[in-house]
A and B are shown apart, each in its own frame.
Chain A
Amino acid sequence: MARLELKNLNKTFSPKVIPVKDVSLTVEDGEFLTLLGPSGCGKSTVLRMIAGLEEPTRGQIRLGGEDITFRRPGDRNMAMVFQSYALYPHMTVSENLASGLKLKNIPRAEIKQRVAEVAQLLGLEELLNRKPGQMSGGQRQRVAVGRALVRQAQVFLLDEPLSNLDALLRERVRADLKQIFATQKAPVVYVTHDQTEAMTLSSKVAVLNNGYVQQLAPPDRIYSHPANLFVAGFVGSPQMNLLTLPCRGRYALLGDFQIPLLDIPTVPPQIVLGIRPENVRIAQPEDEHIIQGRVFLVEHLGMHNLVSVRVNSSHSEPQTVRALLPTDQVWSNEEITLALPPQSIHWFDVESGDSLVGRQRVETMS
């Protein structure tokens, strides 16, 4: 198979509409890359440029070392699953599956065999003679995946393939997709705005915003070491607590409490503290970084309670910290003492939004 490289891709529709500003990525064989981002971040445009449906304004697309930037979509040997599935309504399932192979003039016997294989893999045997109009959303989705698989393409492209399914089905199909594509050797590029899909499916995630790659890393790293404020706020549910705090000496001030800053050469006047709600816990006697506040909202999430706490503050506007706490305790309008474990705290620059942990490492390395 082949590795897929994107080099400094840019798509400019008009001076004001530039969905993709500068994107460089590499997807190796067997890798599952997810382009994750909010709507309008340029992720679909990147995918369409890979497929050849849009022509890049600048930059290069390489597949297996070959420049394919200006090649017709049909000559790229890629298979794509559309958000709308794009099944041909006038063809039966088996005709839909076979259409791409027929266009490539593959012998009839081989088409039949490959369609049968894919139908068996995806459990479509019963549906082969049905039309898309007679099938449920989940069945159509499977046919769309089947139509991509049967092509045995060099690259698989998936554009939000799960967004038209209901929540329960989505979870099941997600697991199915993971299994199916784990057996494929070709690189997969998957576009989604759903972080759960990105986390569960991919071997690598590219978080996109505003036409730029914000971070390119394996999912666990994206989660544990967000490169900037955008990634920190976008990935993770419930959202990370992001608090802009004033600094004094080597401490950041959160209400009446002091949080020691990490070892940075110059202390800025302000800094952003990030901590995920699940990392905030009820303070034990031996904890050092503690804050106190009053509970003003408890949201039941089933497994946990999401507790919103207004941190005690004698001079400034009180900040809110949200914590995921076990359900075995009940608080309402109570004083509570929380611990912020230092290893779970992220620091971000107020101006640039970049992670200061990352910057510190770069600086110590140089």
Chain B
Amino acid sequence: MFNTKTIRGREQRTAWILIVPALLMLLFVFGYPILRAFWLSLFTQNLGTRLQPVFSGFDNYSRMAGDGRFWQSFWVTIIFTVSSVVLELILGLAIALILNQKFFGRGLVRTSAIIPWALPTALIGLAWAWIFNDQFGIVNDILLRLGIINTGINWLGDPTLAMFAVIFADVWKTTPFISILLLAGLQSISPDLYEAHSIDGATPWQNFRQITLPLLLPQILIAMLFRFAQAFGVFDLIQVMTGGGPGGATEVVSLYIYSTVMRYLDFGYGAALVVVTFLLLILAVAIASLLLNKLRARTSGTT
């Protein structure tokens, strides 16, 4: 198979030997479940069929088209994803810009800034659920003491406010991740560029618009890509904080899939939901990485 007489041939053989275990791992851990889910989605397997798989073609998919709860959860997911990622990017960039300045105690602040991200999400969810608790929560306590409200707000009981609360908690948790990522990008921009630009008469805002932002775009996109994929599949934080309530106001797709499979034991339909969200996510990630490659080529000037 390989020409072992040449150095290249021997190196290729070694390379394959080294790669095969990883390939097998990927195949079993990712390839098999994905294909199995797709296969399962072609069957009806629920309490109605006594949990026996009955081949039903694309019935599950047509059922999805008319499933209002699915589209509702899809919409919730999009609102959650877009608003949390946008807020996190803006805040993360602001924090990164501050952490990039020289000030006393910068090392300490940089390290402590990452703590929220390092904490387990389930714990954070629990903490935020209590913070937003209508009777004992600290948010209501502060607002009452400041005289802004007269009676406690039922944060997690109101559809809009509950959404606000979970987005707030998610932003609090993952902004550090973005700011650390963007900080690394900021540090890779040569200070000479800012100095040259200032000598040419640029204001700090022009420096930011014309140097920082374009040169940071690759990192911004990477952060966006990571956060988009994570936020789209969010489960633990919302499950702990609201469980998808009230009345499905915070029920994201992953929560709906979880209920379908684990509560209603509708395995075939659950698999179909997984396949569709998976494909949508793949599509979004593919578009984002395409953009990323283009941008990277543009900023490094190799095209």
Interface residue ranges, A against B (CB under 8 Å): 51-53, 72-76, 78-80, 82, 84, 86, 88-90, 99-100, 103-104, 130-134, 147, 151
Contact = CB atoms under 8 A, between A and B. Distances in A.
Interface of B: 190, 192-193, 195-203, 206, 210-211, 214-215, 298-302
Contacts of A100: 200-201
A73 B199 contact: yes
A84 B210 contact: no
Contact of B199 (A79, A90, A132, A134): A79
Chain B facing A: main interface SS: helix
A103 B302 contact: no
8 contacts: A74-B200, A74-B201, A86-B193, A88-B193, A90-B298, A90-B299, A131-B298, A131-B302
B211 A88 contact: yes
B187 to A, nearest CB: 15
Given A86-B195, A86-B196, A88-B193, A103 B201 contact: yes
A73 B194 CA distance: 11
A236 B103 CA distance: 45
Given A51-B199, A82-B196, A132-B301, 14 more contacts: A74-B201, A75-B201, A79-B199, A80-B195, A80-B199, A84-B192, A86-B190, A86-B196, A88-B197, A90-B214, A99-B197, A100-B200, A103-B202, A131-B301
Given A53-B195, A82-B196, A90-B215, A104 B201 contact: yes
A298 to B, nearest CB: 45
A134 B301 CA distance: 6
Contacts of A78: 199
Contacts of B203: 74
A89 B201 contact: no
Contacts of B211: 88
A84 B190 CA distance: 9
Contacts of B199: 51-53, 73-74, 76, 78-80
A88 B197 CA distance: 9
Contacts of B214: 90
A82 B202 CA distance: 17
Contacts of B302: 131, 133-134
Nearest to B300: A133
Given A82-B192, A103-B206, A89 B301 contact: yes
